[in-house]
Structure 1
Amino acid sequence: MRQQIRRVLGSAALGLAAAIVVAGCGAGQITQTDTQEAAVNGAQATVGSIAIRDATLAYPPSDSVYRAGSNAQLNLRIINDSDQPAELASVSSEAAANATISGASTIAGRNVLVIGSTEGEVPDFQRPTAGPGPIGEATIVLQGLAYDVRPGMNVPVTFTFAEAGQVTVELPVGVPEHPRTNHSEPGAHDESGSSH
């Protein structure tokens, strides 16, 4: 009888030890997703059947900052997920004196309007489900910024659509489209061709 009790207790102890080992296996591990970043770099918003995707201010062309009073171009995609055309009626921002739209302002049904930078293709996940059709292109510029805008800051921009209504989006400053050269690195050359 005592031998049977010892066997039961021994089995229970082994089971408990195994459970502790298994539970500890994942402790302190780095998951695969802990270093993954979101696929979309810019802001997103939806109003009615209209989706705004990957919305940013273009990276400042010089000094890495937009100075107060300067202009900033927007980069984004506007997706019309309705069968009917949609019109971007106006754009405004409390951070700018004015905003101008040039180029297309109507988004055909089940289509995409590309605003600003058109480098690369519009990803499939940003295309409406029905036939792609021609993609419209436009430019939106915030004019007369009220204050300095640097990377890391967000600027509120309000988009008004004739049918879908209005939505305000906090736009971050985008990343440079091309790598910038660090002239202070060893081996960098100035315009005369001499090394620093």
Structure 2
Amino acid sequence: MTAHPMSPPPRSRRLAAALVGATLVLGACGEDEDNPLQDDEVEVQGGAVGPDVMVNDDLELLQVQLAYPLDGTYEEGEAARLFFAVSNTGSEPATITDISGPDFSGVQVEKTDGQGLPLQVDADDNLYVGAEGPPDVTLLDLDRSLRSSQSIPVTFTFAEAGEITVDAMVSAEEDPAVPPFDFPDDDPDQDPTDDDSPAPSPTSPTG
């Protein structure tokens, strides 16, 4: 399993500051009557960052999003890669035992030591899903079409904390050099990829 140690308190402050900045920008755009975010049927241009949700005092789901489809649209029956991170600031490991939702039939999970759930997040550590290398999670057999800025609910079940549901939005089309996570530039240790090789964009095959 690919997990990357970090120092939780400073990371939380830096990531929160970055997200507050993004929220302020979106808030300012919301004052414009032509803002495409006011229309669910209009594709949002630019890099969409998924939501962050506290699971309990120790666990946080970060930047939950679906990969951008190569042809711009997921059709019914296709699969979509899921990107997210989990921060565990507790003294005990945490375990994701299930990932489910009403708009897909199941998940395919690829790990360094095999396939399938569970996924473990070590104590005082982070887990990155969809970064360069496993683990990877793919939602199977979508029962509706989706394109950038549209979302579906995804429920994560933790052995220690129960269920939590997050709206996973389809990412906007990105430059190939842009990674699926937006870690602050001043803390490269947060990025699970090698410094010399750019990570792939959150882009998924269409089948």
The interval holding the TM-score normalised by the smaller chain is: 0.5 to 0.7
d(CA) in 2 for partners of 1:169, 1:117? 19
Structure 1 position 152 matched with structure 2 position 149: yes
Which residue of 114, 117, 120 corresponds with 1:106?
120
SS of match in other structure, 2:98:
strand
Which residue of 25, 30, 34 corresponds with 1:36?
25
Unaligned 5+ residue runs, structure 2? 1-20, 28-46, 113-118, 177-207
Which aligned pairs between 1:12-91 and structure 2 lie closer than 5 A?
36-37=25-26, 41-48=49-56, 49-61=58-70, 63-91=71-99
Q: Which has the larger radius of gyration?
A: 1
Deviation at 1:167, TM superposition (A): 0.2
SS of match in other structure, 2:108:
strand
d(CA) in 2 for partners of 1:97, 1:154? 16
d(CA) in 2 for partners of 1:172, 1:116? 15
Deviation at 1:176, TM superposition (A): 2.6
When residues 33 and 167 of structure 1 are mapped into structure 2, their CA distance, relative to the original with a 3 A threshold, is closer
Deviation at 1:43, TM superposition (A): 1.3
Deviation at 1:103, TM superposition (A): 1.4
Range with greater deviation from structure 2 (40-49 or 80-89): 40-49
Letter in 2 for 1:139: D
Q: Is the CA contact 2:50–2:168 (under 8 Å) kept in the aligned structure 1?
A: yes
SS of match in other structure, 2:69:
coil
Which aligned pairs between 1:115-154 and structure 2 lie closer than 5 A?
115-118=129-132, 137-154=134-151
When residues 108 and 35 of structure 1 are mapped into structure 2, their CA distance, relative to the original with a 3 A threshold, is closer
Q: Is the CA contact 1:50–1:79 (under 8 Å) kept in the aligned structure 2?
A: yes
Deviation at 1:117, TM superposition (A): 3.0
Give the TM-score, by structure 1 length.
Answer: 0.60
d(CA) in 1 for partners of 2:130, 2:91? 24
Deviations 1:34-85 (A, max 9, x none): 9735998111211122101111001112x20011000000111111121100
Deviation at 1:102, TM superposition (A): 2.2
d(CA) in 1 for partners of 2:170, 2:22? 25
Q: CA RMSD in A?
A: 2.7
Letter in 1 for 2:25: Q
d(CA) in 2 for partners of 1:171, 1:75? 9
Letter in 1 for 2:108: T
Give the TM-score, by structure 2 length.
Answer: 0.57
The sequence identity of aligned pairs, in percent, is 28
Deviations 1:70-119 (A, max 9, x none): 0000111111121100111110111101112221711100111100134x
User: Which residue pairs with 2:179 in the alignment?
Assistant: none
When residues 73 and 36 of structure 1 are mapped into structure 2, their CA distance, relative to the original with a 3 A threshold, is same
